[in-house]
Amino acid sequence: NNYLVNEKREEVCKKIRIYWDITNNCNLNCIHCSVNAQKNKVTAEKEKVIKIAESIARVNPYQVVISGGEPLFSPWFEEAVNVLKKNSNIKMTLMTNATLIGKKEAEYIVKNFESVDISFDGYDEKSTGMIRGKGIFEKTFRGLMNLKKLKMMFILILMKKI
């Protein structure tokens, strides 16, 4: 009977997608932000973040979508992802503004994530600047190109209608 319960649990977990806002902190101050993300909010303690990652890994969901604020702004981002990826087949998606994706970050993301969703709230510097701030279009585009150079398999661009 215990075998049937475990088998059923595995079947259910294969269908679970977990969305995790790893931080409410962000490097931007967008006018539409739903989490009111700011740079100076209190960051969760490392132990708490790792404990959450371990709990998610135990569930062994089909997919985990890491978001925030800006997930790359979390000081525990890589450690939490490493916990999720250790001994599991979890499909990972990153939701990011891409402004913090340099070469090193791009290498890590391509290695550990199946897909990346990038918020591009405008089609040029002017339209993006109205929503996200001056200079953000170029930073976002640079992050996108760092991923593209490394042949990130799936990148979804999210854009608001202006």
Q: What are phi and psi of 39, to 5 degrees?
A: -75, -30
Judged against a pLDDT cut of 60, whether residue 162 lies above it is answered with no
Q: So what's the pLDDT on residue 95?
A: 95
Higher pLDDT, 153 or 35: 153
Question: If pLDDT is split at 50, 70 and 90, which confidence band does 13 have?
Answer: low
pTM above threshold 0.75 = yes
pLDDT in tens, 66-97: 998 899 999 999 999 999 999 788 999 999 99
Per-residue model confidence (pLDDT) at position 44: 80
Identify the pLDDT of residue 24: 87
Which secondary-structure segment (H or E) carries 96? strand 91-96
Question: What's the rounded mean pLDDT across residues 32-58?
Answer: 80
Nearest to 128 by CA among 160, 96, 101: 160
SS3 93: strand
Please report which confidence band the pLDDT of residue 64 belongs to, taking 50, 70 and 90 as the band edges: very high
Contact in structure between 68 and 21 (CB atoms under 8 Å) = yes
Asked which of 70-74, 119-123, 137-141, 158-162 is least confident by mean pLDDT, the reply is 158-162
End-to-end, the C-alpha distance of the chain in Å comes to 57
Amino acid at 161: K
pLDDT of 116 > 80? The answer is yes
CA angle in degrees (0–180, nearest 5) for 27-30-34: 100
Lowest mean pLDDT among 34-38, 51-55, 64-68, 96-100: 34-38
Q: State yes or no: pLDDT of 136 exceeds 90.
A: yes
